[in-house]
Chains A and B, each alone.
Chain A
Amino acid sequence: MSAINTVVSSIVPLPIENIDTDQIIPARFLKATSRDGFGKNLFRDWRYENDSEAQPKDFVLNNPTYTGKILVAGKNFGCGSSREHAAWAIKDYGFDVVVSSFFADIFRNNALNNFLLPVIVSEGFLQKIFAATEKDAATQVEVNLEKQYIKITTTGEQESFDINAYKKTCLLNGYDDIDYLLSIRNDIEAYEAAK
């Protein structure tokens, strides 16, 4: 998959807490047997009345004022079901980064495995991003993985974020875990033999 490093973009704000993966991609869209095309069903039930594209709801993804490659959401994003389809849908829709003050564990792993960067910020910084975007929807946010910081370019406010060193290397270089695990098959077999 393709490596990521710096993303500079306007953001799509979603200041709701505890957004679960059933909202991100409802169960009825999990019947596919491939990984593609989930973006059009991202937040499906928040986007459309009666599942009809002719009846858009008042929802941020339907509002042309807000676009960009960075999704910024309230605390405990991605809780609930382990469905990786949630990460596929967000990535397929066109996001490269999700920012929140708290991510559910499985979602965060799924995101990382799909080169969708989850950035954990403080609750205070999260509110600053929302405030800046409310003032000016075109507000640009810079996410720098290499240097591990996120910055609101208009105000200059920035915060550093944590990421596991191993995962960071994977993301920067486009490696995935399977490549690594396959490379240590001998160790795995030795472990089994000793068990």
Chain B
Amino acid sequence: MAKTLFEKIWDKHVVKEIPDGPSVLYIDRHFIHEVTSPQAFKGLEKRGLQVFRPKQVVATADHNVPTLNQHLPIKEELSRIQVQTLTENCKKFGIDLYGLGHPYQGIVHVIGPELGVTQPGMTMVCGDSHTSTHGAFGAIAFGIGTSEVEMVLATQCLMQSKPKLMRINVDGELKTGVVSKDIILYIIAQISASGATGYFVEYAGSAIRSLSMEARMTICNMSIEMGARGGMIAPDDITFDYMKGRTFAPQGEAWDKAVAYWRTLYSDADAKFDKEINIAAAAIEPMITYGTNPGMGIGVTGHIPALSEIEEKEKPSYEKSLHYMGLEPGANIKGKKIDYVFIGSCTNSRIEDLRMVASFVKGKKKAAGVEVWIVPGSKQVEQQAIQEGIDKVFAEAGFMLRQPGCSACLGMNEDKIPAGKYCISTSNRNFEGRQGPNARTFLASPLTAAAAAVTGEVTDIRELI
């Protein structure tokens, strides 16, 4: 029977089906971090349990770590305790930890792929909604809550109901200045912040196939922002080229065997999806969000919807959102002054993102009064940026290159955008207060963010390249 990519992987991981209930799904890899794991370990201890398969768990400290002076003890007490708790738990339960100071440390969704831990055909989970990122390799990867973290630690399994399946086909060629972040912001704006709830999404089509792994990760990363459980892309030569030789990727004969299996991971020609959406790549402009959920996005030359364009029932939420953002319905977004630029997060902090920004800003300077933070996704990205001299390009432009972590993506550490200020950000969420209490976020691609850094306002990158 014809199967989708998702079904091929899912079916291989079902340990047991419960009549009228969820399936017991086996989990190959489990990532943990300091914020959503402490209560899970506490739960295990309360039940007197060990971690069932510690070698299938990988830990890092990312959400809560400072991005300056990482060699010093963490100043903020609660953050320090949380990171220490992770260290103690990993030691006690025999889990490999890439914590602060480790050359592999970084944002969990950046380090998994870059270390070769993330592989096609796997089931992967983490107590973090952007686990969908790993789906770019053709894995079933999704975020879970802390109770589920405890289940996976205890049994390497989860109870899951099979989601509905959606395929989004993006075909054709992207216009100049349009990158993968614009594709996903465009898709979310089309189908809304809840348009894929209950679904697992496969991205396909010629525009997706031509993207690098970094660019594919950006797309899968934001699947959750339209409500999807996860997103995935069938693996191909671009995937295998990216993975070959990575620290934990199979080597030698095992590699050849793995690739042969991975080549079977695609949706069969007559496989059925519950929903299918087609998008023309050429219709996509550089995108930006103006509101307080990622579905509130427009082309950078577009206007913020006027009240008359909003459904009656949605007006209160819409007005609340624009009020928070300090924006007027019907206004243009281009030319809007910004105060901060944040280039980072598991959406856009990989080496390719930094290179893209560097190649645009080389020889340019940031606008006066704008603060620009570049936060690499991992120690390895940071090292590579230094090796390639990208750090110097940033320094000359007046951009601040910080140390790896989630940083201003969620403002859990001290990297917060001050109240009322505007930040153009390459992260994935523009929720109220996400980057700090009353901070105002415009989500955009690294290129659009870099353009704003140079001009001090929301800018159409196409006018500068």
Contact = CB atoms under 8 A, between A and B. Distances in A.
A54 interface: no
A33 B81 contact: yes
A102 interface: yes
B154 A82 contact: no
Contact of B42 (A33, A80, A182): A33
Interface stretch (A12-20, A135-143, A153-161): A12-20
A92 interface: no
A33 B85 contact: yes
B21 A18 contact: no
A154 B287 CA distance: 48
A177 B35 CA distance: 22
B285 interface: no
Interface residues of B, number: 67
B431 A22 contact: yes
A81 B145 contact: no
B334 to A, nearest CB: 25
B59 interface: no
Contacts of A76: 193-194, 197, 227
A114 B316 contact: no
A83 B15 contact: no
B47 interface: yes
A91 B434 CA distance: 23
B157 interface: yes
A188 interface: yes
A30 B412 contact: yes
A15 B317 CA distance: 9
B250 interface: no
Given A31-B64, A31-B79, A82-B129, A104 B197 contact: yes
B311 to A, nearest CB: 10
A77 B3 CA distance: 32
A34 interface: yes
Contact of B144 (A26, A82, A181, A187): A82
Interface in A44-95: 45, 51, 74-76, 79-85, 87
A164 interface: yes
B437 to A, nearest CB: 6
B460 interface: no
Nearest to A181: B155
Contact of A84 (B146, B316, B411): B146
Contacts of A167: 21-22
A25 to B, nearest CB: 11
Contact of B317 (A27, A74, A79, A110): A74
Contacts, number: 178
Nearest to A107: B145
Nearest to B43: A178
A22 B432 contact: yes
B420 interface: no
B408 to A, nearest CB: 11
B270 interface: no
**Which of A26, A82, A166 counts the most chain B CB atoms within 10 A?**
A82
B144 A106 contact: yes
B434 A22 contact: yes
B154 A23 contact: no
Contact of A45 (B21, B22, B193, B432): B432
Contacts of A147: none
Interface in B18-73: 18, 20-22, 24, 26, 35-36, 38-39, 42-43, 47, 49, 52, 63-64
Contacts of A84: 36, 39, 127, 145-147
**Which of A23, A105, A181, A182 counts the most chain B CB atoms within 10 A?**
A105
Given A32-B78, A74-B317, A102-B197, A20 B293 contact: yes
B151 interface: yes
B116 interface: no
A113 interface: yes
Given A104-B194, A181-B24, A187-B16, A16 B316 contact: yes
A31 B16 contact: no
Interface string A167-189: 10000000011101110110110
Interface string B138-182: 000001111110110011111101010000000000000000000
Contacts of A74: 317
B429 interface: yes
B16 A79 contact: no
B433 interface: yes
A187 B24 contact: yes
B200 to A, nearest CB: 10
A79 B316 CA distance: 18
A105 B225 CA distance: 12
A114 B412 contact: no
A110 B145 contact: yes
B15 A75 contact: no
B145 A80 contact: no
B194 A75 contact: yes
A109 interface: yes
Nearest to B230: A105
A39 to B, nearest CB: 15
B418 interface: no
A33 B36 CA distance: 9
A103 to B, nearest CB: 8
Nearest to B81: A33
A40 interface: no
A85 B146 CA distance: 8
A102 B127 CA distance: 22
B229 interface: yes
- The 8 A-B pairs with the shortest beta carbon distances in the complex, nearest first, are A166-B21, A84-B145, A31-B78, A110-B145, A33-B38, A113-B147, A76-B194, A82-B143
17 contacts: A16-B320, A18-B295, A22-B429, A31-B81, A32-B78, A33-B38, A34-B39, A51-B437, A76-B227, A79-B193, A82-B145, A84-B147, A104-B197, A164-B161, A181-B151, A181-B157, A188-B24
